[in-house]
Structure 1
């Protein structure tokens, strides 16, 4: 049975997280993963090149060696294992899954916040304080979206839940009640 990319990425991310935990270097492992994300982000197609069947391992290996030369041994070994199993094309997905795991373990909540106008810093702080308590987290990281169609209020999507406090929803609800 062939596994999909998401399942594979999740397994590699968990394995590296557990290994970093054993070596008591979770924060360093997270920082290294973010560095890998940056490298792949600055070099679009790197994963495809490193998993291209038209290139030999001997042609790809110097690229990988250069990629990992400044990382600690644990990260070097992890990247080499990904390379050996021909999964470099999945590296960015592995990093994403590692970040999700790291955030979950550290009770960091990633939330999409939709408002009609941009939030001020004071509003973001108040919203984060309330939301972190509501979801029993330590920290909230907002991905902000401005959508004038919600008219006002705020819609927050986090941890498979939607908290809709938009004026648009309130008006729609009121309209339905009047129609009854």
Structure 2
């Protein structure tokens, strides 16, 4: 069975997080990964080029060396390792996994909140505090989405949890219950 990036990335992310924690380099490693993520986003063909059979191994290694040039040792080692093992395409997922582990360790959860109308700052802060308390974390960083089709109420998606208190969902459940009778 072939291992996908979704399976492999958490392994690399966990190992990198453990190493960064052990060596007290979480912030430095995080900053380097953020910079690497920006390079990958700004150069969409980079990862494809590093996997392309048309480019010589020496040419690919030169690109990898350029990526590693200013990175701290754990990040440089990660870049070289995923390249050597043919997992360079997993790099963005590994970076996301590392970020999620840093946020989890800091007691921060991210998510989205969907409402029919925009929330003001006070409402957003109150909702974030309530979600943080419910999930048992220090902080909930919620991104607001406005979707008039929810009619009213709030839908929160955070930490693999969906809390749906929207009027649209309640109407759908009521409709289903009435049709079932």
Q: TM exceeds 0.5?
A: yes
Separation (CA, whole Å) in 1 of partners of 2:176 and 2:39: 52
SS of the aligned residue for 1:36 comes to: helix
Tell which deviates more after alignment, 108-117 or 169-178: 169-178
**1:55–1:176: structure 2 CA closer, same or farther, 3 Å change rule?**
closer
Residue equivalent to 1:11: 11
- Alignment correspondent of 2:49: 49
Structure-to-structure mapping, 1:1-180, within 5 angstroms: 1-172=1-172
Provide the TM-score with structure 1 as the length reference.
Answer: 0.88
Shift of 1:35: 1.6
Q: How many residues of Structure 1 are paired with residues of Structure 2 in the alignment?
A: 180
Note the C-alpha offset of 1:86: 2.1
User: Does the 8 A contact of 2:114 with 2:144 survive in 1?
Assistant: yes
* C-alpha spacing 1:176/1:60, structure 2 compared with 1 (3 Å): closer
**Distance in 2 of aligned mates of 1:89 and 1:173:** 42
Uncovered stretches (5+) of structure 2, i.e. residues with no partner: none
